[in-house]
Structure 1
């Protein structure tokens, strides 16, 4: 992005967007300014210069994913296979899903025990939405379950349910499912039937565990009765439905779609925290413990005046994330605020 700046406000690391000459010194477009160059500019008669602004962007920083790339490729093949099974026969192989879930739980928890939680899966294009959403919702659900202290059997049930929670969307007409716009009221009513479609597919596939099925059927229900498809309330919603529901909302809000921009992770988390009547408080608190108040991707301003982006958080450090910013010499610096006494978070946003 081009920006006109007063010479007195230039920072090291910014690049010129024009050719300049200061005495015998020629500075060409694209030149990365250092302290000496800026000093010479300040001592010249030049008052304004055009530069390419140095700003971090959430999509330009390489946020390290929680899951290894080769494992994600393996999971994509497995999910594609399930989708193909349902599209062809109207059912999936429960044993195949259980084995996929077992590998998923093992890998996610192994990575999560490494102490630092980083980023979720980001789509390379809109066609990957289904895959990325299922993996993200399952990852979030699994970590929430771990933070809640659920036993291995319940954790596995949550994982299976989350991995297939949107399987019912395969019965939604493509023109609605892949609409690159906001749905009409009539189309949304059709979309709202996907949890019921999913339950039917699960039962047709021979899946008999009611708790697993409940996550597929209830992940859009809300404790205050404002959800769908049955407007269930509080005690009528299982622990699986509550966990998968929170994970689903968080990922949906932070994901870009053809018809909407993504919310920042901080904004999405803040929305969920404020929705006390809709979501289970214990589940929300577990989400906060896992992601921190400032999830990866959150833009913040630091006490040193730098614009930074959260790139991760150390478990237990809810208020002190790991951040990256550009220093005065144009270098990308990563700082763990839980280990820094000098740098604090001044505010959210730039």
Structure 2
């Protein structure tokens, strides 16, 4: 659900972690139908107490950012629309419009390369339905994968193909029956076996479309493989999995965790990042890839509510790439503080 053509980070937050600085993205009513908070309205401390008293636990909010986004927000929205067209074509013609994907992925990549710096801000779309998630997810994974590749020192030619492959990494889902793909419940074991085949479908579609770059093929076919051999479909391990697939794998999991689906609630960015780090510690994900993503999105991603050492509650509004433990925060009185410049302040805890 893309709500406004303006800059902001959209996060599903626990009401108890709100700081009074967020803007609601949804209209909440009480048991009598009276409005507690309107979409587009700032959630003041008074509104927070009203939400609590009405039993509201989680709410979609927008967190204002202090940095311009790496990718123009209109380009992100346009990319999603283009990828939806690509998937629609695949479903009917079993062929990827490769020029269309290349054009979209390079437009996004160009912004990332041009705006990459020490302070990072990356905005995301919020999907409205499970079907919308598929296209939104492809764009998010392409953006973050490109950024991770840049952080890891990939050359521009490599970045171009990484951005392209990440933009279609789930293209095989176009051939998964919609009653399985869009099921609003946990899949049965038999259904999950069919779902897993989307990676094989994706490889077949790529080759039928004239795509033979093995880096691209690997991103599509192997992004659910794990370094310890516990992934699918082939149970590959370690160096059998290409760097492109390793990058897409990490980003794919992170974006899936923070996304809201009909069968599961969204995880907070902090909780999702913590899970990614845990999976790397278990040798399921590439630790170097994870380290690069933490540098970019922060250990405390934008939208995370933190508590500073002097007791102030603050919300993360920007990430310092060279010091992910010291983000840019906004405290309860609205003041913005860069923790890399305020050495006497530090994050001591996170409010989930």
TM-score normalised by L of structure 1: 0.79
1:101 and 2:105 aligned: yes
| Gap regions ≥5 residues in structure 1 | 4-11, 14-29, 31-49
Q: Is the 8 A contact 2:121 2:319 kept in 1?
A: yes
Change in CA separation of 1:209 and 1:346 when aligned onto 2, cut-off 3 Å: same
The one-character-per-residue Cα deviations of 1:295-345 (angstroms, maximum 9, x if unpaired) are 112221122323222122122121111122323xxxx33322222234321
Q: Indicate the residue corresponding to 1:73 in structure 2.
A: 77
Which of 335, 338, 341 matches 2:340? 338
1:226 and 2:227 aligned: no
1:84 and 2:109 aligned: no
Distance 2:205 2:253 in 1: 23
The one-character-per-residue Cα deviations of 1:228-261 (angstroms, maximum 9, x if unpaired) are 1111111110111101001101111111111111
Q: Is the 8 A contact 1:119 1:311 kept in 2?
A: no
Q: Indicate the residue corresponding to 2:61 in structure 1.
A: 60
Question: How far off its partner does 1:52 sit?
Answer: 4.2
1:155 and 2:159 aligned: yes
Distance 1:58 1:172 in 2: 32
Q: Indicate the residue corresponding to 2:285 in structure 1.
A: 279
Q: Look up the SS of the partner of 1:77 in the other structure.
A: helix
The structure with the larger Rg is 1
The one-character-per-residue Cα deviations of 1:71-119 (angstroms, maximum 9, x if unpaired) are 1232123212211221221101223322222222112222334x43224
Q: Indicate the residue corresponding to 1:173 in structure 2.
A: 177
Q: Look up the SS of the partner of 2:335 in the other structure.
A: strand
1:198 and 2:202 aligned: yes
Q: Indicate the residue corresponding to 1:23 in structure 2.
A: none
The one-character-per-residue Cα deviations of 1:270-292 (angstroms, maximum 9, x if unpaired) are 22212231011111111122122
Distance 2:73 2:46 in 1: 37
1:121 and 2:88 aligned: no
Distance 2:155 2:255 in 1: 24
Question: How far off its partner does 1:213 sit?
Answer: 0.9
Q: Look up the SS of the partner of 2:60 in the other structure.
A: coil
Distance 2:337 2:135 in 1: 32
Q: Indicate the residue corresponding to 1:314 in structure 2.
A: 320
Q: Is the 8 A contact 2:77 2:125 kept in 1?
A: no
1:208-219 superposed matches below 5 A: 208-219=212-223
Matched positions, count: 300
Q: Is the 8 A contact 2:73 2:123 kept in 1?
A: no
Distance 1:348 1:167 in 2: 36
Q: Indicate the residue corresponding to 2:31 in structure 1.
A: none
Q: Look up the SS of the partner of 1:180 in the other structure.
A: coil
Change in CA separation of 1:71 and 1:272 when aligned onto 2, cut-off 3 Å: same
Change in CA separation of 1:312 and 1:51 when aligned onto 2, cut-off 3 Å: closer
Of stretches 60-69 and 202-211 in structure 1, the one that deviates more from structure 2 is 60-69
TM-score normalised by L of structure 2: 0.79
Distance 2:88 2:197 in 1: 21
Change in CA separation of 1:61 and 1:74 when aligned onto 2, cut-off 3 Å: closer
Q: Is the 8 A contact 1:58 1:309 kept in 2?
A: no
Q: Indicate the residue corresponding to 2:350 in structure 1.
A: 348
Q: Look up the SS of the partner of 2:211 in the other structure.
A: coil
RMSD across aligned positions (CA) = 2.6
The one-character-per-residue Cα deviations of 1:17-49 (angstroms, maximum 9, x if unpaired) are xxxxxxxxxxxxx9xxxxxxxxxxxxxxxxxxx
Question: How far off its partner does 1:226 sit?
Answer: 0.6
| Gap regions ≥5 residues in structure 2 | 1-14, 22-35, 37-44, 52-57
